[in-house]
Structure 1
Amino acid sequence: MKRTQSGMTLIGFIIVLAVVGVFVYMGMKLIPMYSEYYAVKQAMAGLANEPGIANQDTAKIKDLFFRRLYISYAENIKPEHVKIVRKDAGFEMTVDYEVRKPLIANIDVVGKFNAVKELRRSAVE
């Protein structure tokens, strides 16, 4: 009676390991980009809940926004990426930026992010 072995060969295991390694490496490049975007969304939501934010001038709003981002170590957002325009009884804040990270050799990963939040007067004011 002849027994047949079943399982993965060494070469198959190395190939699977290489594919998994590439995906882990890509995740290490992508996760910080998306966590920074999450920090931007959190900072904008915090500003929207700030009492009296609609009565501030745009320079003060930007300053408060970048103070919140400084806590989150978000370093890819620059003042030129933030636009604040008057809208109705408040402001509309738009953060539009792009992050480019090198991946392998001359291949880059590019993330384009856009977040919009309305800063209005609350009913309590």
Structure 2
Amino acid sequence: MPINLKYIDPTYMICAVPSNASDNVYCTLFARSVVHGVMAGYTDFTSGLVNGRQTYIPFNQITEKQNKVVITDRMWARLLSSTNQPTFWSPKVSIGDKGNEEEATELLGNGNCGEEGPRFS
């Protein structure tokens, strides 16, 4: 029985989709902010929105600690709902379980979302 297996690179799918007007405006604001920061003499920073305002964020502040994701939290449920992703919960974790945070983050590996996965620099 012949098998026809196709692999579609997700990065290609992201690059192949045309940007909308909102993406264009955001990228323009982001690029303008970064250029202004570089021309002002700042180094080792990125630009981003914090509380709706364009800011310069030092790299060391971004990488100094890892955030914890509590998979029983309402915001996590909203994210899963809006992206139509499955939950992948272990049988011990349930929505009503407000127990130990270690149990709530059990799926993500010792309570940290990036501890065992690849690190980006």
Q: Which of the five TM-score ranges fits, normalised by the shorter chain? A: under 0.3
TM-score of the superposed pair, with normalisation by structure 2: 0.23
Could you say which structure has the higher strand fraction? Answer: 1
Could you say which structure has the higher helix fraction? Answer: 1
Relative contact order (alpha carbons < 8 A, sep ≥ 6): 1 or 2 greater? Answer: 1
Larger radius of gyration: 1
